[in-house]
């Protein structure tokens, strides 16, 4: 799954541009700067893949990535797709932009039967913030399975990682759609990336 070079296939600014439902999808969400592009690049082993599509004009789009080498014809579809959702939580984002984000993401999550799980990225140094809580509210409301992934663990003390995982799990306890396991990753050190690959491979078979 992750051995082939991955490619960007399309940016989706509104739901009518979504590709037809096909292969299982896994989506990534997180505050801007959480390390989402870096983690996606580490995951698929392609430097610059997520970033290239992450130009300012594209920030409000769902960006689709698939393993390369498939024509996309009905009988030659990729085994899965990764969907990079626009980052949220810009301090200066106007309300209309936040509303647009919420609508795009919520409608996508609620209506997409091939979306298997959302990975919600949380910066190890900052923990779960208010806007992360709001996104979790949306996910719970959409009954969309999600799993929390801590990013940039190389930036905190090693001994602090298990404690942070415990604290984070505690905050997820009463959230019905949260997966009861938290992953810890560092794209910089490539830590936890294999665990995430395994989790994704399992999630798409459900």
130-149 residues in contact with ligand GDP (CB under 6 A) are none
- The stretch near ligand GDP (CB under 6 A) out of 62-70, 110-118, 141-149, 182-190 is 182-190
Half-sphere exposure for 87 (CA within 13 Å, toward CB) = 24
Indicate the DSSP class of residue 24: -
Provide the minimum distance between the beta carbon of 87 and ligand GDP in the complex, in angstroms, as a whole number. 5
Contact call for residue 37 and ligand GDP (CB under 6 A): yes
Which of 112, 142, 145 lies closest to 21 in space, CA to CA?
A: 112
Give the burial string for 107-144 (b: 16+ CB within 10 Å, else e): ebbeebeebbbbbbbbbbeeebeeebeebbebbeebeb
Provide the minimum distance between the beta carbon of 191 and ligand GDP in the complex, in angstroms, as a whole number. 8
CA separation for the pair 117, 201 (Å, rounded) = 11
Instruction: Count residues near ligand GDP (CB under 6 A).
Output: 16
Contact call for residue 32 and ligand GDP (CB under 6 A): yes
- The stretch near ligand GDP (CB under 6 A) out of 10-18, 106-114, 161-169, 185-193 is 185-193
* Structure tokens given for 16: 């009518």
Contact call for residue 63 and ligand GDP (CB under 6 A): no
Positions touching ligand GDP (CB under 6 A) are 30, 32-38, 87, 151-152, 154-155, 186-188
């Amino acid at each position: 799954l992750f051995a082939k070079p991955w490619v960007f296939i399309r940016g989706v600014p509104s739901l009518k541009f979504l590709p037809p439902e096909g292969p299982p999808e896994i989506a990534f969400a997180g505050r801007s700067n959480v390390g989402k592009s870096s983690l996606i690049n580490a995951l698929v082993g392609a430097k610059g893949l997520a970033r290239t599509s992450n130009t300012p004009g594209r920030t409000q789009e769902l960006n689709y990535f698939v393993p390369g080498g498939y024509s996309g014809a009905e009988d030659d579809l990729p085994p899965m797709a990764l969907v990079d959702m626009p980052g949220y939580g810009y301090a200066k984002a106007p309300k209309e932009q936040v509303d647009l984000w919420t609508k795009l993401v919520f409608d996508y999550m609620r209506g997409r039967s091939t979306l298997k799980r959302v990975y919600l990225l949380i910066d190890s140094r900052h923990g779960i913030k208010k806007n992360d809580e709001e996104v979790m509210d949306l996910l719970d409301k959409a009954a969309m399975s999600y799993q929390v992934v801590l990013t940039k663990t190389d930036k905190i003390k090693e001994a602090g990682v298990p404690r942070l995982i415990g604290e984070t799990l505690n905050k997820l306890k009463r959230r019905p759609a949260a997966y009861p396991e938290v992953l810890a990753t560092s794209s910089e050190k490539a830590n936890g990336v294999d665990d995430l690959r395994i989790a994704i491979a399992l999630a798409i078979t459900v």
